[in-house]
């Protein structure tokens, strides 16, 4: 019985530690892959707010397309700009392309 109790404590500790290393950007990519757009938006927003330029880019793409959010090209451009300023080159190129399309 003591061994089982010790194992459960170890498993609980491992579960707690794994949540410390959660990656919102990767979680967003996984949600996007499964077309769970609301989750993707939430995770990319968390990544972007945490300084992840790729998260800002992906969130911008969702706003540009209107996947999981109300389509808003102005918000998309703002997010692409944030991504570009963070070093994400795709964000830089998408700024121009978003302005170019009606």
The answer to whether position 17 is within a domain reads: no
Residue 15 is assigned to a structural domain of this protein: no
Single pTM value for the model: 0.77
Is residue 3 situated within a structural domain?
Answer: no
C-alpha span between 14 and 2 (Å, rounded): 19
Q: 90: domain CATH number? A: 1.25.40.10
Query: Can you give the residue range of the structural domain that contains 83?
Result: 24-100
Instruction: Tell me if 28 is assigned to some domain.
Output: yes
Count of structural domains, the chain: 1
Confidence band for 102, pLDDT divided at 50, 70 and 90: low
Res. 101 pLDDT band, cuts 50 70 90? low
Beta strands in the chain (DSSP E): none
SS3 at position 1: coil
The total number of residues written for the chain in this structure: 102
As a whole number of angstroms, the distance between CA 81 and CA 93 comes to 10
Inside any domain, residue 77: yes
Q: What is the residue whose two structure tokens read 């010790």?
A: 6
For residue 65, give both structure tokens: 């397309």
Q: Is 6 domain-assigned?
A: no
Residue 46 lies in a domain: yes
CB 69 within 8 A of CB 62: yes
Condensed to tens digits (0 to 9), the pLDDT of residues 36-73 reads 999 999 999 999 999 999 999 999 999 999 999 999 99
In a domain, 2, yes or no: no
Whether 44 and 74 have beta carbons less than 8 Å apart is answered as: no
């Amino acid at each position: 019985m003591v061994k089982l109790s010790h194992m459960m404590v170890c498993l609980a500790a491992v579960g707690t530690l794994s949540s410390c290393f959660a990656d919102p950007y990767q979680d967003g990519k996984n949600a996007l892959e499964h077309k769970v757009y609301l989750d993707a938006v939430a995770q990319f927003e968390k990544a972007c707010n945490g300084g992840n330029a790729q998260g800002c880019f992906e969130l911008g793409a969702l706003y540009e397309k209107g996947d999981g959010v109300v389509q808003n090209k102005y918000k998309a451009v703002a997010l692409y700009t944030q991504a570009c300023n963070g070093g994400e080159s795709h964000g830089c190129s998408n700024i121009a392309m978003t302005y170019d399309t009606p």
